[in-house]
Structure 1
Amino acid sequence: MALSAVGTVASGALSGAGGEAGRRVSERLYELLSRGRSGGNSATGEGDSHRPTLPVTEPEQTAAARQLLELASRSPEFAREVTEWVREAAWLSPRTVPAVAPGASRPQMLPPASAVFTDRAEVLAWLTALLDEEERPPGAPTLAVLTGPGGIGKTAAAVHCATALRERFPDGVLFADLKGASAGTALAPSDILARFLERLGVPPAMVPGDEARQRDLYRDCTADRSLIVVLDDAHDDAQVIPLLPASPDCLVLVTSRYRPGSLVAAHGARPYPLGPLSAEDAATLIRRVAGGDRPSAPDAVIRAVADGTGGIPLAVCTTGAGLAVRHHLTWERVAQQLSDRNRVHDQGGTAVRDDTPDGTADPVRLVQDAAYAELTPDCAALYRAIAVWPWPTVTVRCATHAAGVGADEARALLEELARVHLLEEVGEERYRFHDLTRAHAHGLAEAEDGHGRMATSVRRVAVSHLRFAAGADFRVMPLRWRLGPAYRGLTLPEQRDPGDGKRALAELRAERENLAAVIRAAAHHGLHDHVWQLCEAMWGLHLLLGFHAQWIDTHLLGVEAAQRSAEEFGDPRAVGRMWTQLAFGYLGAGRAADAEDALVRARDADRACGHHRGEATAAEALGLLRLKQWEFAAAQRCFEEAQEMLSRIGPGQDGWEDVPRATALLTHHIGRAQTRQRQFPSAIAGLNDALARFRRLPGGGDTYNAGRVYMSLGDAHLDAGDAEQARVCLDEAVKAMTETGAGLQLADAVEARARCHRLSGRRAEEAEDLRTAAACYEEYENHSGLARVRARLAEAEA
């Protein structure tokens, strides 16, 4: 238990998992190990040769666990402290609510099944037989893979079967589109794991940053569950393997246009190849899609239309949708169109299409060509414009700027494309291409518009998304300093809704994948200034919500873009800014060495261009890393160096307006570092100085950060043995967090105050604070915090 606790705390210390509670448990571990090395004397200083270091490697963690056990063996008092710490650390382990518990998360992520689904009864029968097979390998989930070419109906078949079988799996359904049509669009397993973990009940702040720990937690969360996991459009086995659950009571249903290899050989997957619909079923499906109000036609004509689609469900549905909404089309005309286009192919025509491997016409392309020919010129132009890049989803904003039309017109044209099945509506005013349809539209854009107009379309989309992201980011964190002209002129209303920042963060999160795609598109087209500014505008999103794999990928592009922009007379300050933000991404993923390297590069880049504000930020970030690593004296030196850098900024110079707030933050950090070095008089004096600085800031002061200082003062007084003065400070912290509406920070403040009450013997007050903390954690769906304080509450009320 001690070894597990040390591992949990050490891994979370660098990434920030566990928030303030995790920080406190990490620092208490430092204190315990310091006492163990110094023979039980708690008054160790930074210069003490027995100073411990953060146990990162497995041997270091084993050694630390042994030191804890040795300390516990010295006296009953030490044993009590070590036992209490192990219990506290155990609550930080990011586990979801067990599947069998009341109120457990039972995700239902399955998209709606098609109302016109036809045939594929044999697939459901095959899956049912797999589940009922008596000789299934013990201990492993049932793993089935539907394979076949694009457009063959794999997704529809998987959703249909999962819908039919979900009553057998009471703990819910997980679904993810892996976007694996190509290596360039395939999502990283880490991105899917983060999404699944949240739906399984893990608070976003507790989701690990690195894929290996995400995978371990995912297996822990699914070990006792009976789930269906649908992994749609997998690119390869490597994308799927980290997403396999641990429970033998799960069904994993994978769809892919590629044949599985190691999934079969190493994981016992059972493949099932999907082929075209039979002629009879294709005719049935096209009748259903076209609708019953269309004038009937001879069976032979309908059969001819179905034959023209090759029995490929995507082609069948596209053709049927065209008949459903275009009443001037007759069955006979559609049959003739498909026949004519097939004949053009046979005669060597040059229509935009991909032929099948045997040289015959691709039925999907023939149908798409026919559907495109029926579009109005404006609708056809928008169809081409929104396909210039594989956007994860197409919104009204995206379509408006891609095509250069008004929002109302874009909205109407998107609805038209959805009606004829050239787009799929996946949410309110949010659409998606089938990758084969996007390839068709992209080919037409190349042929009819040319690369110049396509690049212009990408640029308009990049500008619009940068404007949106900068505005939302400003609402999320209005007081932070930022770079880039995208923020010029942004202001907040005097009577701002307290929930506006939270809504802005939700807006950014909803567009997260699209924003990352815009960064990649802008980088591809050489829009360097747009790339790094988009990264800057996603700072609040990533800092508060994580998604570290995407954070790192986009900011690597941001660093390169900033460097190229600087070479082309752009803003040289952006280089250091991108390195600093990338460092925080690395830190969240637990990659401390990469983070340190990035911060050194940031400091050097800012120093080279004389950007004192950026250089100070890099030094501050390096100090925060040192705090996490228990190198408290080194952290203090970093913060003091950052203060000296800020002192070089004169009135009117870059960053001058931010100097008072930045100096207050650094003064707070120094006080925290001194507390950990047990320099209590200096620490308390410095923290009170930071408090005064935050109160003097323009606009009535910074109440939130003042509250954070009060919490640090509470820690300092408590560590110095003065629980009563700690309680006074924490009273002020509670007031500040209540005033600012910072719910999770309020929970942390009252939880810390409850500890003061416990040390002072006030059991009733302790219980009351724990109930308040529990209510906050419950409101914000922080299950681990809720479980922790409920356990403490049970002890307090015993």
Structure 2
Amino acid sequence: MRVNLLGPVELVSAGGEAVRLGAAKRRTVLAALALELNRVVSGDRLLDLVWDGSPPPQAKAALQGHIAQLRKVLADGVSLVTRAPGYVLTGTRGDVDAFRFEDLVASARDADDERAVAALREALDLWRGPVLADVPGDQLREAVSARLEELRLVAVQDLATRLFRLDRAGEVVSGLRDAVDANPLREALVSRLVLALHWTGRQAEALELFHRTRERLAEELGVDPGPELREAYQTVLAGDTAPKPPVVERAPAQLPREHRGFVGRELELSDLGESLMGQDSAIGLLVGPAGVGKTALALRWAHRVAGDFPDGQLFVNLRGFDETEPLDPRVALVGFLRALGLTDSQIAVDLEDQAAQYRSLLAGRRVLVLLDNARSAEQVRPLLPGSARCLVLVTSRHRLDDLVVTEGATSLHVPTLPEESAEHLLAALLGRPRIEQEPEAVAELCELCDRLPLALRIAGARLASRPRWTIQSLVDELRDEQGRLSALSLPEAGRGVHAALAVSYRELPEGAARLFRRLGLHPGTDLDSYAAAALLDINVVSARTHLRTLAYANLLHESTPDRYSRHDLVRLFTHHLAATESDVDNRVATARLLDYYLHVADSARAHLSDHVRPFGPPEHRPASFPELPSHAAALDWFTLEEANLGLALDMALNSGQRERTWQLALCLDAFHFRRGNRLDRLALCRIGLAAARSLGDGHAEATFLLRLGSTLADLGRIDEAIEACTRAASLAGGDRDLELAALANLGYCLMADDQLDRAQAVILDALEVAREVGDKRSQASVQNNLANVLLRKHQPEEALRHATEALGLFPAAPSKAHTATLHTVGAASQQLGRADEALESYRAGLALAARLGDRYQEALCHRAIGDVLEQSEGQDAARPHWLAALRLYRDLRLADADDVARKLDLLTYP
């Protein structure tokens, strides 16, 4: 079965019979899918194409009906498949006449003249009229007709050249005459027809055609015939049978005009100059994500330096990321060779010969070559001059690392605009007075647009066309994440952030595309390869390959080794893609992600907390996960993943996954306990407590009540703390470890409330339980609490004895309780007047706290060291330690900061 597009749209069976398609819009659907053969066309894009940019409310249902009808008539290897985020027509290139035409023309380029003539004639015979002749609306036709029509005319020209070589000029006269009648001002065609008429003995007709064309060029365009047509005329007059060498009359100047409203980028412009100017055979790569302004930057710099290239500037848009196929480098080379003075008859047929001609023409010249929107190194390499005096600047969404490795190119990443430049861009579009009226809205608008020039220009265009709108009104619209991408699009032009990202997405290999869709389920702005592996249930090696592919396409950015971040608009685009997947698949992938974070957090928690009871095996054990062999590794992992763990907790909480909720909360609490962050601990404990209670899990409830109690005590909310610890003790229910923790925490709370006798009694009960269960670490911790009670009772000798005994009980591995006990030893020594011993203990505690990342204990030790130094050496010696304590207290948002600030007379200290 074949799909014919070169004329009226047809579906032809294997037997050669036309299949009735029915509705005109059904032909448009088939044509749109056929032009993207074996590539997904999104539902939104189809709606836009079929209804010419203005789909009615019922269009989606109508589109589904057309898809269903097409499936009924497709057969013989051509099928229509639903694939997120739309549909794909599958088949071979030979099944679509447009691709068959392209392939035949391509095969002719490398063939000898006889085979080339056969291929070109077969290709041209496929045309039955204008492209998509009976498709209603203009958008789809305009997207492809110009390229295919240009290729058809080039094929006619190439056929004439081949037949001239074979001395068969008579065979091409008719085809050339038809082409010239339709394109009377295309000099390449006219010159060939002049030569064909001349070489078939019709000189009078040839001369008449030349003069008629010359007059028409003068009347309609105000120009004289170009060198190719003049050369054909001279050939007729002289009776020559061979073309003359090319004549180059002036240097090409092909740079498009600069973008209006270009702002900033002085650093990038300076880097380009330093990296490229004055260098032999320089090649610069400007790489960055869609919409970041690579072309605008390249044009600004190219116009600045154009005067340094007196032999001309060449430009081509390689269309590497357009909706259509990327530009064939042969087509680009033909354009360059024409600009450099060659006639079509002088241009070689195959790519290597064309590239050699190009290098020969540029030999010794100083030319700037700007290659915009390159897809690959293979597309660029034939367009590189051989002359050391030439300079090439390439822009691409892909990194094109191959050019860096093999051609010595210099790669410069184009970042999003700085805040000031983003605001200047909006001012250029809207005027400074309008911007100055709403500075806060302008700043937020810049961030909502990710400071991407494309998004900012679209936002500016919307506001410029609506002068009565406030900037805040657009900001309010863009705050809605579900509609932000569509609000930053120009539907009538098929342009915008969504369209730009969609093109990059469609070019991804399947594995990377699948991961990109799954990233829409990840709540954070960055992730590592292990989390990516969990989303797809693959090993980390495969995940790294996919992530690198996404980074190569500038859809992600490798912020640190093996860690990838994304812009907010990219995040929203992945949400859109994830929404096209099935709910079941998304739920399973989300569960895998949560279980990955939970599994690793649980192993990290074991290094940060005492008496950790590991959770049971997760429902979805990850295929790959990082090994955390030490306390430092666990703390580093928690620090790196803190934001993602918080968002994972929100996901579990909001989706009613109560067991995962309290388990994630417990893991995060261990981290915040170690870091001394009391307010965050309070919120976590309440989340975990609520989840545990809703499950009826008494052990988990008691665990969180204990943590809640100690946190409340540290925040000075003693009554609530005592109530929580008392409730925890009542829930211990024969679990001696839990009972021990409950008694220890209750004693700590009573001590904080200055109920010292009661606190001492509870702590002694806890000490008895600790000795009974043989837990030396808990015994040491409880003895340290007892020492602190004795200090408050002004019994420093007894306190020092218990604290010193506690130090001897700690195992070799350091712990938070060990640090606290060193502080207690220091406090007892200080109370006994032994300043040197106190400083020694405090400093040991400070070093251990810094090693463990325990910022609260660091603050306590700094403050204590300052107090001792004040007594022995004065305030100047104490001040650095008090300042360090103040910073830590304020970072932890603790009221102790005010006490230290008063010591420094710095209540307003920043």
Q: TM-score range by the shorter chain?
A: 0.3 to 0.5
TM-score (norm 1): 0.47
TM-score (norm 2): 0.41
Where relative contact order (Cα < 8 A, 6+ residues apart) is larger, the structure is: 1
The structure number with the bigger radius of gyration is: 2
